[in-house]
Homo-oligomer: A and B are copies of this chain.
């Protein structure tokens, strides 16, 4: 942390998350482009009021049910996710039996390795998709982004891809995966392509998802299937957009100029 952020700073929470990401960047976990992508998320979070909304809670429930029903669930981890919520990736894997796979937009061997070490140091038992392990390929735009683990994403039925790129999400859908994402932008291609879109900050959503998986774990499979069947992702996206636009209209009706 380079700055002492005052306790009364209006955006303290957001600045602390940002510093966590910049730390990850200095450790070689986060790519420079990952910092830009984070900023885009920050802005949507600002509009959402930096709180988990009802539409996110409903998506979290569906996500938990899908992960618990899966035969082979995989958590796809990129640099930003590893930097922000390493402990919850590990907890989710433990609670649900999902495997963890590193999956980078800007893939370098150093960064793969740094992310793997970071996750192992937070208690992960195994981290797929690093080096030789990413030996399978899926059809995608950029050659380095095709690589996946033959023990992980290649054979997964449910994939959790928090903060994922649109091309990649579409590729996973074309392969027939059930895709769960966490994305603050309800208009992103990832948000619109996934089967379950949790429109929330990954920092708030991941602990809630772990908790929900714990809660639903003992339940009958029929109950979990019922949760999925009554879930409608298009409705969730529409609600998020309506929420955002109402908040902006409300803000727009006020005197906006700050006089100093």
Number of copies: 2
CB of A231, distance to nearest CB on chain B (Å): 12
In the complex, how many residues of chain A place their beta carbon closer than 8 angstroms to a beta carbon of chain B? 57
Nearest B residue to A193 by beta-carbon distance?
Answer: B258
List B contacts of A9 (CB < 8 A): 141
Report the bound CA distance from A237 to B254 in whole Å.
10
Nearest B residue to A170 by beta-carbon distance?
Answer: B260
Instruction: Let me know if A187 and B39 touch, CB within 8 A.
Output: no
Report the bound CA distance from A41 to B258 in whole Å.
20
Cβ of A138 within 8 Å of any chain B Cβ, yes or no, is no
Instruction: Let me know if A187 and B258 touch, CB within 8 A.
Output: no
Cβ of A18 within 8 Å of any chain B Cβ, yes or no, is yes
Instruction: Let me know if B252 and A245 touch, CB within 8 A.
Output: yes
Which residue of A39, A237, A238 has the most chain B CB atoms within 10 A of its CB atom? Answer: A39
Instruction: Let me know if B192 and A257 touch, CB within 8 A.
Output: yes
Q: A247-260 interface mask toward B, CB cutoff 8 Å, 1 = contact, 0 = none? A: 01101110111101
8 Å CB contact of A36 from B18, B46, B185, B234: B18
Cβ of A244 within 8 Å of any chain B Cβ, yes or no, is yes
Cβ of A2 within 8 Å of any chain B Cβ, yes or no, is yes
List B contacts of A6 (CB < 8 A): 141
Report the bound CA distance from A4 to B233 in whole Å.
33
Cβ of A25 within 8 Å of any chain B Cβ, yes or no, is yes
List B contacts of A35 (CB < 8 A): 32-33, 35-36, 39
Report the bound CA distance from A258 to B36 in whole Å.
24
Instruction: Let me know if B22 and A32 touch, CB within 8 A.
Output: yes
Q: A32-47 interface mask toward B, CB cutoff 8 Å, 1 = contact, 0 = none? A: 1101111111111011
List B contacts of A170 (CB < 8 A): 258, 260
> With A3-B142, A244-B248, A248-B244 in contact, is A260–B174 under 8 Å at CB?
yes
Cβ of A10 within 8 Å of any chain B Cβ, yes or no, is yes
Cβ of A178 within 8 Å of any chain B Cβ, yes or no, is no
Known: A40-B40, A187-B251. 6 other contacts (CB 8 A): A3-B106, A18-B33, A32-B35, A36-B42, A241-B256, A245-B246
Instruction: Let me know if A233 and B257 touch, CB within 8 A.
Output: yes
CB of A243, distance to nearest CB on chain B (Å): 9
